[in-house]
A and B are shown apart, each in its own frame.
Chain A
């Protein structure tokens, strides 16, 4: 006998919080690193927290403030932020069939909560329990927990970043965090091509004016993977 299923908003909210708890172990160091990076780029505590609340994305936050510190024009910063957050479009599309019926204010709230982990955890839950109600409360529960934890970590990073001397090379921790994420997203040949071409191109495009290097290199990597994928499909279809 399984216990009766509780699909109340409250129960779904708590369930969302519960599944979000283990991934926080990996998220908190990234939040720290984001706070350190933001301080190194010259942002104050207030500006860092505003940037963190506005973007709710470590990658966009770190790369944008680095471009800002390097004197990139605002248009280039926003263009780069757009490419960095393109994967969020994929998440938005992935969850929308389950949430299409919601009123606008819920769609706005749920959209804000849509981080990498929120997407991954929600897809698993919604696929396994398609009949369960209050899916938006599930996302909101995880979202509120990760929002609080994330901003505490970023604030701690700001305070830490102000203490640590430069010879500790703490800026290298951003590269390491991204490296760990990179290894996790390369899982077949087209994604490997995207990484090799994107990374290789970045060693040439850094010479481009206006700090257009990262966005250009990323687009080159995406284009190369699309071409590779198309050719591979054609060969295997023969």
Chain B
């Protein structure tokens, strides 16, 4: 099963890269399709990030006692101003540890 995933995911990803380089004439790509592809990264990334921040034990936690929500808010601000993955990663982890420590003491 794990090897089926490895081979399958590898094949799918490679075929996406090979799609236009390998086959179709790029000038045949409709403008509307090209425009729609631009929306894939924001939609995909948001759909992955939000559940990891807000969903715990199969339910949504939107209250400020969720340390991941507080850390994500801090990381969002850092990402916005720094435009850096490294700083977002470092600042977000420190914010999470601080929030966990703080909320843990109050509980």
The tally of residues in A whose CB lies under 8 Å from a CB in B reads 93
**Per a CB cutoff under 8 Å, which of A29, A111, A169 touches B14?**
A111
| Residue B103 lies at the interface, judged by CB distance under 8 Å to chain A | no
Contacts of B41 in A (CB 8 A): 87, 181-182, 185
Q: Does B6 contact A (CB under 8 A)?
A: yes
Name the one of B4, B14, B19, B47 contacting A214, with C-beta atoms under 8 angstroms.
B47
Contact, CB under 8 Å: A57 / B13: yes
**Does the CB pair A89–B20 fall under 8 Å?**
yes
CB neighbours of B21 from chain A (8 A): 92, 95-96, 99, 107, 110-111, 114
> A92-B16, A172-B96, A221-B44 known; 14 other A-B pairs, CB under 8 Å?
A26-B84, A54-B6, A64-B9, A91-B17, A92-B18, A108-B18, A108-B22, A172-B52, A176-B89, A177-B88, A179-B79, A185-B42, A222-B39, A226-B35
Q: Identify the 6 closest CB pairs spanning chains A and B, nearest first.
A: A54-B10, A221-B43, A199-B46, A198-B43, A225-B39, A217-B47
B residues engaging A (CB < 8 A)? 1-14, 16-22, 26-27, 29, 34-55, 58, 60, 68, 71-72, 75-76, 79-80, 83-86, 88-89, 92-93, 96-97, 100
